[in-house]
Each structure stands twice: as structure tokens, then as C-alpha cells.
Amino acid sequence: MKFTEEHEWLRVEDDLVVVGITEHAAEQLGDLVFVELPDVGRPVTKDEEVVVIESVKAASDILAPVDGEIVEVNDVLTDNPSLVNEDATGNGWMFKLKIEDMSVLDDMMDEEAYLKFIG
């Protein structure tokens, strides 16, 4: 699993990259009450707003961690946004990306580096 400074995690599954927010981010936001997911088939560029989330504390944008195409979204979050709070790095994933070059993940933080980052 890889991590960004924007508190997103990325997990490679076959030829796709699954993206969500970290447990740390979910804790900081508090209970999520709304998630707006992107459209499947949408091309995205790194740092582009992809998901809008609202919690009891704040509204936040989730940015695309890399260039790619949205190939699947976690529709369960539309009716149950609190799943992100319950299982941020598992069933609380947000979207799956198809990317051209998996090597772009090599420069991202691993779990040890992320834990130091949020330290």
C-alpha cells in the first residue's frame, strides 16, 4: 500500500489502483455524512478534485493521486458514507483507477514513511 501527503492510500489490485482516504484522515474529519463519487469512465489528472466528502466537521475534496481513468466507484458509500469511518482502508475505498504507468507509485510513501509523516 502507498500513501500521499493528502492522506490518501493506494493499493494495486491486478492492473488497477484502488484509492481511499487513510484512517488518520477519517478520524480527523469525524463522521462522514455525504460522499459524492466521480463518474465511471472519467479521465482524471493528478491533483484534480475527484470526490467530495462532507463530515460533521467539514467538507473536503479528495484529489486524484495520479493520472488515470475512473473504472469503478464504491456506490455503497452513497447510501452509507460512514463505512469510510468504519473501515477506511478496506470496504471504505472510494474509486478504482486504470493508470498507464504503475511506476508512478514508486515515489509515494510506504506505510512506515506515512506514519512518520503524520507522527
- Side chain identity, residue 103: S
Identify whether 115 is part of a domain.
no
Domain that holds residue 91: 2-101
- Cell numbers 506515512 correspond to 114
CATH of the domain at 77: 2.40.50.100
The per-residue pLDDT for 93 is: 97
What is the number of structural domains in the chain?
A: 1
| 45, 67 contact by CB (below 8 A) | yes
Parts of the chain with a pLDDT under 70 = none
The per-residue pLDDT for 13 is: 96
Identify whether 116 is part of a domain.
no
The per-residue pLDDT for 109 is: 97
The per-residue pLDDT for 26 is: 94
The per-residue pLDDT for 113 is: 98
pTM assigned to the model: 0.95
